[in-house]
Amino acid sequence: MILTDRVAVVTGAGHGIGAAIARRLVVAGVGGLVVSDIDGAAAEEVAASIVADGGAAIAVRSDASVKADLKDLVGIAEKTYGGLDIFCSNAGRAFGTGIQAADTQWTKCWELNVLQHVYAAQAAVPGMLRRGGGYLLITASAAGLLSAPGDAPYSTTKHAAVGLAEWLAITYRPRGIRVSALCPLGVRTDLLMPGIAAGHPAAMSIAAAGPLLRPQDVAEATIRGLNTEDFLILPHQSVASDYAIKAADPDRWIDQMAQHARSATRPTMREREKA
């Protein structure tokens, strides 16, 4: 998609990957941007920085897991800028818990990591169809293609997000709406770094799987993927080869992942000495 003069909405845009994507979209030529986050002050800060650099952006405090809030974002974009071309449903949640995670954790992951994208599509697609095209960018995760050992709710819901993105692409690509699933591995954000600092098994497993990118690196990969309209946007090159290995021999891949998870979470010599 040619990004010049397009109108975009980005959820979870107050921090991390979302903030980096919002800023990079404006550099790429987007003419109007709605910066959304449940942290209203952070959204205001990002929007203000974009305006200070000569871009057009407004901040909206919204909860990406609430259907009415996402519908309102589409309405605000249309009222403010005359339409909506790109909806980036980017907010996400992780708890680092296993199968025994609390029901509230499972529910929150489902609401934010899956239903957010459903609600975004429900709100944005009708207008895109009327205008003859548009773009849905779903921030999933490499966990949605591979897995996230140590975090069952996150891994499960990110797989669902990729599945939804596939369905949307199959259904609406013939009608002019492009869909991409953004699937980074480890990124230096507040979603991951505190877990690494604490030595959490899920975070350590991700850190051991590949290099930790900056949010700006993910944003660069995102712009490249939007320009070429790739379904899978993979900032970490290793994810593509790992995904191919998984498809070719799932049982071998599961054994390798289990071994990798054990190695990543095994205590270091210093930690054993402290124990």
27 assigned to some structural domain: yes
pLDDT, residue 146, reads 94
pLDDT, residue 148, reads 87
- Tell me the three state secondary structure of residue 88: strand
233 assigned to some structural domain: yes
| Total of domains in the chain | 1
- What does 9-76 look like in DSSP terms, one character per residue? EESSTTSHHHHHHHHHHHHTT-SEEEEEESSHHHHHHHHHHHHHTT--EEEEE--TT-HHHHHHHHHH
pLDDT band at 150 (very low <50, low <70, confident <90, very high): confident
pLDDT, residue 189, reads 76
The region of weakest confidence among 145-154, 180-189, 216-225, 260-269 is: 260-269
2 assigned to some structural domain: no
Is residue 23's pLDDT more than 90?
A: yes
pLDDT, residue 273, reads 31
Over residues 143-149, the mean pLDDT reads 92
CA-CA distances (angstroms) from residue 115 to 119, 125, 161?
Answer: 6, 15, 9
pLDDT, residue 265, reads 54
The DSSP call for residue 199 is T
Task: Please name which of 182, 200, 196 lies closest in space to residue 138, comparing C-alpha atoms.
Answer: 182
User: What digits encode the pLDDT tens for the residues 71-116?
Assistant: 999 999 999 999 999 999 999 999 989 999 999 999 999 999 999 9
- Tell me the three state secondary structure of residue 137: strand
Alpha helices in 82-197 (DSSP H): 103-110, 116-131, 152-172, 193-197
Q: Report CA 213 to chain centroid distance, whole Å.
A: 14
Give strand ranges (E) for the chain. 7-10, 32-37, 57-61, 86-89, 134-139, 177-182, 232-233
CA-CA distances (angstroms) from residue 24 to 33, 72, 224?
Answer: 11, 24, 11
- Tell me the three state secondary structure of residue 187: strand
User: What's 177's domain CATH number?
Assistant: 3.40.50.720
217 assigned to some structural domain: yes
pLDDT band at 268 (very low <50, low <70, confident <90, very high): very low
258 assigned to some structural domain: yes
| 234 phi, psi to nearest 5 deg | -120, 95
Percent of the chain with pLDDT over 90: 79
1 assigned to some structural domain: no
User: What digits encode the pLDDT tens for the residues 178-214?
Assistant: 999 999 987 887 776 776 777 766 776 777 767 888 9
> What average pLDDT does the structure give for the chain?
91
Residue whose token pair is 């449940």: 38
57 assigned to some structural domain: yes
pLDDT, residue 264, reads 59
Over residues 54-71, the mean pLDDT reads 98
Domain span at 112: 7-274
Over residues 220-224, the mean pLDDT reads 97
Over residues 164-175, the mean pLDDT reads 98
Is residue 130's pLDDT more than 90?
A: yes
Is residue 48's pLDDT more than 50?
A: yes
Residues with a catalytic annotation lie at: 154
Is residue 267's pLDDT more than 60?
A: no
pLDDT band at 33 (very low <50, low <70, confident <90, very high): very high
The region of weakest confidence among 11-15, 53-57, 99-103, 187-191 is: 187-191
pLDDT, residue 275, reads 30
CB neighbourhood size of 189 (10 A): 21
pTM: 0.90
Residue 57 corresponds to which tokens in the numbers above?
């952006």
